[in-house]
Structure 1
Amino acid sequence: MFALRVARKSVRSYTFLVIFGCTLIAFTLAPISITESIGTPLNTNFSAYLPLSYQAHWHAPISLIPSTQKPLPRPIPRPAHTFRPDGLLEVNPDGRHPILDLIARAEQEWDAKLAHVSQTLPEAVHEYRRRYARAPPPGFDKWWAYVKKHNVQLPDEYDQIHLDLAPFWGIDPVPLEAIQRDWEAHVHSYTLAKSSPLGPLHVGNETLPEDEAARDRLLIGANQLIDLLVEVEDDLPTFRAVFSPHDNPNVFITHDMRRRAVEAGERGEYIDPLNEDPAPFTSGWIHACPLDSVARNPLRSPSTTQKPKTFIYDHLQAMDPCAHPSHLSQHGQFLAHGTGPSANPFPVPQFSYCSSPLHADIRVPVPLSWVDDVEGERDEEGAWEKKEDERLLWRGLNTGIHHASDRPWRDSQRDRLVEIAQRTDGSVEVLVMDDHGDGEGMKVEEMKKARMNPAMLDIAFAGSPSQCEPETCRELEEGFEWRRRMSVRDAGRYKYVLDVDGNGWSSRFKRLITTNSLVFKSTVYPEWFTDRLSPWVHYIPIQIDYSDLYDALLFFRGDPSGRGAHADLGAKIARSGREWSRAFWRKEDMTAYLFRLFLEYARVMSEDRDSLNFEL
């Protein structure tokens, strides 16, 4: 009897345990909703109270519990855009908005560049050898000490120096020195010289106008370069460097000459351009392009074919007229010389304030118009959120080409820009966000310029016509709306600003990118810092024909009513641009570039160049 009672108790105990266990599992796998007296549902999940071993090993019942919720459909991946070899992204109409992809790609590449930098002198030497297949020049350790002392960023990114000096490695230094010496007599030039190891850097020669005011004006750049190098003057080797004091480049050689010189240098051999048979007389821009380039082999497509929408992803490649021959008919740098100048018979070591992809000038950082900071931008007053005007701003003179009846000035960069902005007849097809689906798609809409331009653009020539013949000056004055010059503080009210070339490179870019405004930039001049900043991270690149200008502005600003705006992304890029300017474009950064440039230049000009190496 006693055994029967025990058995009955055991059965009741086991029954209770089974019921309790099932209840606990039910609570665990199917969260219940408890409604309090206030009527608010509380989702409660008791899985936190289960032993970890239970959670780790118990899987099957999850799939057995029926669900009343329909599973969310997985988003269908959008097709990719095409990244073309000419530096342009070609838009796939079914893809997501291309600027989202451009920003994501650029941020990833910039972060990777920042993450892979040399931290020590041995690492810098190793990276130098990897990139250029030779040892660094003497004095590299002193240059590295300057870089570390002044916290110069991206100490490996000096490929532009290598590209500019590459042809001279294929020319014997004896005739190369003769070429340099003869070029000192070139009209309108000055020569920076370090005549002895302990001597000062000075203007060793000049062929400038006799007018004292003009001469002093043309020597401003020379004096600023000397000032930049004061701290490292004693560590510079001896050299003589001829400079052009003007805005634009003028050394032009054929692609064949450059190729022969570069390839000879890579083999450790020389060409002798002074003594070999002269090359056939050549003139024209396309002779600076490879034989297999688009400029030499123009694509023939039916005139009725609609061009696809494109955006820049590689700004350096997108500047190249060899890949984009339309630049030759859309920019004063090329239009002013017609089909192109006559080629120099050999490379000439001339330094210039800027150079285009078709020129062979050695570019330098120029302190002209350099600013450390901008009035009204360094405090809350200049913050993006405080800027009131959401139109795209540009003011400037009608520079870029001489305006005369026999010049195609209407096709130059600045004149076309003002024409686009101030002519409000007609409409334009623009890329806008598509609100359907995931919100990242796009569609093409036709918008009237009469609605868009006044609401979105504040673009005009400033002051009065210049660089023009009297009759053409009157035509300019009557044909365009001219507005007053604008102060830096007044310009600071605009969230969006545009930077375009003038007679040469734009010296205002430093000021613009130091503001908290979003900078749109259109140029054909790669600069010393081109490898050291990133489009879509620090600024917005715009094509020379402005075909992407409306589309890019609409993405950030939205349409005239603000629909489709991505102001948060615009503010982020604007801030990144200002931070880059304050950290990567200081005077110390320009000094580091010049220091390394003259170390390299002095070696390639020396008869002992092959033995002038820095070794650890």
Structure 2
Amino acid sequence: MLLLLGRCRSRPKRAPIESLESHPLDGIINDAAVKAGDWLQQASRGQTLEVAVFNYRKRYGRAPPPAFDIWYNYATQRSSLVIDDYDNMYEDLRPFWGLSPVEIRRRTHEIISDSYNDAARIMIRGGHTNTGANFKPTHRWMVDGFAHMMTDFLKFIPDMDIALNLNDEPRVAVPYGKMKRLLKAAESSSDPTGKVKKHQWDSNRDKQWMRAENAVASRPFGHKPRLNSFTAATAACPPSSPSRRNFLWDASPLCLSCAAPHSQGVFLSNWSLAASPCHQPDLRNLHGFYLSPAAFRTSTELLPIFSQSKAGGFADILYPSPWNYIDKVLYAPTTDKHPDPPFAEKQNSLFWRGATSEGVSRFGTWKGMARQRLIHLTSNSSTSTSLFTPTTPMLLPDPHHESQYTYTLPPPPRNPRQPHPKHLLHFQAHWQHRYLLDTDGAGFSGRFLPFLQSHSLPLRSGIFRTWYDHRLTAWAHFVPIDIRLHGLWSTLAYFTGTVGEKGARTLRGRVGMEKRIKRGEEIAERGRSWAGKVVRKEDMEVYLFRLLLEWGRLTDDGREGLGFELEGGEKVDEKGGSGEGDKKAKGD
């Protein structure tokens, strides 16, 4: 557990390195707010079924899957704001259009044929589900949670088998050349003007899926635990990318050029790009998943496995995690012992607690793992000089020109505390702090959504991405921190209103401090409000419902020409408007 008090002394020990006329975060945060608004506008244009069908065809190059009208009603009845933009889902599914339905089903059965593969079988037949027992009992919550998430729409899902990843780590790392061929094959199936020929699932779908007792045990995953996985993980990168061309064996220097493509100064400015390992060869030594993964059972073939999160370059199919759906960890403040006070009334502190769960330490690999580096960085901020504990200049108001900002090498923070309580802290104790740092472990962090729902400001660092990342905008709904942690002090200084010693004594300095603290509160409240609109349990259901309809079509022998179409076609203009009412769905 780590506790950092907000303000720090800012007297530089060395000469200024660089001066700026304005703080980069001012522009980054303003742009993020606009971006968040633009995303919502384009994601929610489908105000009628007719418009939603039109937008689907235009966006994804084919008709929606059967039962799209039922999905649309389900989504709107649950006040889903996201109707049109499921781009991350279609990126996950697009390569599978390069495989035949027979081959997808065969590969599914390969995965679920042997418990060695660490995957559970979710079998859907006739609107009912059977999860079986061929998996680790410790993962019962995941399997049951997945089934529970389908309860209200299961009767609309066609017969299918689903291979559910039971490991925290992603499983499918398809090499660049092989993935390129799959995507090229998938292109031929896209036709935004194509006529729907079939509106119903094949009547013999249950016969298309192999019976469990007839499956031949197979082990399609390689098993290389506790070995550096970075080379395998970056197989999906282009051959010309830095991570494919360069091998950074020396973990000592901080590779600022590796972070530059997704950064502005020391600040992470592009959260999506930061997930890609292709331009970051130094990630080999910066996370336990790469350094020494606990399981790392992966395949270089495109295997259809559903996972809760994945790192950049992996081709797993993401779905909403049961961890959040069944409230394994939840936001539940109380008025007495664990209240969540308004932002201004919280302790002006950054708080983190967690376990060393990224990977298995061998031969000193723990020194490069993100959570251990975090502890070491905050414990040795005045002496750290290596990549493991990066000390880079902190951006603070210039002591001589208060309207400018200067990068200076920082002294240690004032009064840092790292208490080691004799008993476990209650999870709800987080809410007393203004700033909550979240770092992922062997997979995604299940604590981020509760953080987002609180009145505190979440700071998020990690390499794993989930189903909801596409819906959140960094710097508008949360604060991103680079996995190298070199921008942590500058980011904290910005939001805590840290100023130079001279500036702190001036009226302008005090007003500046209050303005920055207010900015943090605005992001915290915007993120909290947004979480209550797009990452609710209802939104998890809506996402999974649509995902399984898409998967149903992909695995159907008659998938070419199979889809949903309104009676009489869709007569909608380019803006999504129509002079006619909703059409009746064919196949009702």
TM over 0.5: yes
Does structure 1 conserve the Cα–Cα contact (< 8 Å) formed by 2:149 and 2:541? Answer: yes
Question: Do the aligned partners of 1:284 and 1:341 also contact (CA within 8 Å) in 2?
Answer: no
Residues 252 and 358, structure 1, Cα contact 8 Å, conserved in 2: yes
**Contact 2:348/2:435 (<8 A) preserved:** yes
Q: Given residue 386 of structure 1, which amino acid in structure 2 is its aligned partner?
A: E
Question: Where does residue 396 of structure 1 map in the other structure?
Answer: 354
Pair 1:227-2:157 in alignment: no
Alpha-carbon distance in structure 1 between the residues aligned to 2:370 and 2:431? 24
- 2:464 corresponds to which of 525, 528, 534: 525
Change (3 A) 1:491 1:165: same
SS in 2 for 1:607: coil
Contact 2:331 2:428 in 1 (8 A): no
Q: Give the whole-Å Cα distance in 2 for the aligned partners of 1:163 and 1:537.
A: 24
Asked if residue 570 in structure 1 is aligned to residue 500 in structure 2, the reply is no
Residue 55 (structure 2) pairs with residue 121 (structure 1): no
Aligned residues of 1:395 and 1:486 also touching (Cα < 8 A)? no
Q: The residue matched to 1:222 in structure 2 has which SS?
A: helix
- 2-side partners of 1:498 and 1:337: how far apart? 23
Corresponding residue for residue 364 of structure 1: 319
| 1:594 Cα deviation from its structure 2 partner | 0.2
- Corresponding residue for residue 67 of structure 1: none
Q: Could you tell me which residue of structure 1 aligns to residue 491 of structure 2? A: 552
- 1:500–1:521: 8 Å Cα contact kept in structure 2? yes
Amino acid at match of 1:490: A
In the alignment, which of 423, 434, 447 is matched to residue 380 of structure 2?
423
Whether the 8 Å CA contact 1:497–1:512 is kept in 2: the answer is yes
AA in 2 matched with 1:113: W
Q: Indicate if the aligned counterparts of 1:317 and 1:323 stay in contact, CA closer than 8 A.
A: no
Given residue 241 of structure 1, which amino acid in structure 2 is its aligned partner? I
TM-score normalised by structure 2 residue count: 0.75
1:384 alignment counterpart: 343
Equivalent in the alignment of 1:446? 409
Aligned-partner residue type, residue 597 of structure 1: L
Alpha-carbon distance in structure 1 between the residues aligned to 2:239 and 2:59 = 26
CA gap 1:345/1:102 in 2 versus in 1, 3 angstroms: closer
**In the alignment, does 2:554 pair up with 1:591?**
no
Whole-angstrom distance in 2 between the partners of 1:151 and 1:320: 33
CA distance, structure 2, for counterparts of residue 377 and residue 288 of structure 1: 49
What's the secondary structure of 1:410's corresponding residue? helix
In structure 2, relative to structure 1, the CA distance for the partners of 1:352 and 1:92 (3 Å cut) is farther
> 2:135 maps to which residue?
208
With the length of structure 1 as denominator, give the TM-score of the two structures.
0.72
Q: Distance in 2 between matches of 1:459 and 1:577?
A: 28
State the shift of 1:521 in Å.
Answer: 0.1
Aligned to 2:223: none
CA shift for structure 1 position 192: 1.1
Q: Alignment partner for residue 323 of structure 1, among 279, 293, 309?
A: 279
Which of 24, 28, 35 is equivalent to 1:102? Answer: 28
- Give the Cα–Cα distance (whole angstroms) in 1 for the partners of residues 287 and 438 of structure 2: 14
Taking a change above 3 Å as real, the CA distance of residues 297 and 482 of structure 1, as seen in their structure-2 partners, is farther
CA displacement at 1:385 relative to structure 2:
1.7
Per-residue CA deviation, residues 588-615 of structure 1 (Å, 9 max, x unaligned), is 0000000000001111111111122111
Q: Which residue of 2 aligns with 1:412?
A: 369
120-129 or 419-428, which deviates more: 419-428
Mark the structure with the bigger radius of gyration: 1
Distance across 1 between alignment mates of 2:340 and 2:376: 33
Cα separation, 1, equivalents of 2:254 and 2:452: 40
- Give the alignment of 1:11-50 within 5 angstroms: none
Is the 1:418–1:459 contact (alpha carbons within 8 Å) kept by the matching residues of 2?
no
CA drift of 1:376 comes to 3.8
1:433 aligns with 2:397: yes
**Could you say which residue in structure 1 is the equivalent of 2:123?**
193
**Counterpart-to-counterpart distance in 1, 2:535 and 2:41:** 19
Alignment-mate amino acid for residue 371 of structure 2: R
Matches for 1:97-496 after TM superposition, within 5 Å: 97-116=23-42, 117-118=44-45, 119-186=47-114, 187=116, 188-196=118-126, 199-203=127-131, 205-209=132-136, 215=137, 217-268=138-189, 284-298=232-246, 309-336=265-292, 344-369=299-324, 370=327, 373-376=331-334, 382-387=341-346, 389-404=347-362, 406=363, 408-426=365-383, 428=391, 429-434=393-398, 439=403, 441-449=404-412, 451-452=413-414, 454-455=415-416, 484-496=423-435
Structure 1 CA distance, aligned partners of 2:433 and 2:254? 39
Q: Could you tell me which amino acid in structure 1 is paired with residue 96 of structure 2?
A: F
How many Å separate the matches in 2 of 1:306 and 1:132?
37
% identical equivalent positions: 27
In structure 2, relative to structure 1, the CA distance for the partners of 1:324 and 1:345 (3 Å cut) is closer
**Alpha-carbon separation, structure 1, partners of 2:267 and 2:486:** 9
Asked if 1 retains the 8 angstrom alpha-carbon contact of 2:307 and 2:319, the reply is yes
Q: CA deviation at 1:484?
A: 4.7
**Pairwise CA distance, 1:101:** 0.7
Aligned residue for 1:582?
532
Secondary structure of the residue aligned to 2:449 is helix
Residue aligned with 2:410, SS: strand
Letter in 2 for 1:522: S
Over the aligned positions, Cα root-mean-square deviation in angstroms equals 3.1
Tell me by how many angstroms 1:258 deviates: 1.4
Partner of 1:66: none
CA distance in 1, matches of 2:244, 2:344: 48
Structure of higher RCO (CA pairs closer than 8 Å, 6+ residues apart): 2
Q: What CA deviation, in whole Å up to 9, does each residue of 1:256-294 have, x standing for no partner?
A: 21111111101239xxxxxxxxxxxx9633322112322
Q: Is the 8 A contact 1:355 1:525 kept in 2?
A: yes
* 3-state SS of paired residue (1:510): helix
Shift of 1:341: 7.0
- Following superposition, the deviation at residue 426 of structure 1 comes to 2.6
Residue 72 of structure 1 is matched in structure 2 by: none
Alpha-carbon separation, structure 2, partners of 1:589 and 1:304? 40
- Secondary structure at the counterpart of residue 242 of structure 2: coil
Indicate conservation of the 8 Å contact 2:189/2:560, yes or no.
Answer: no
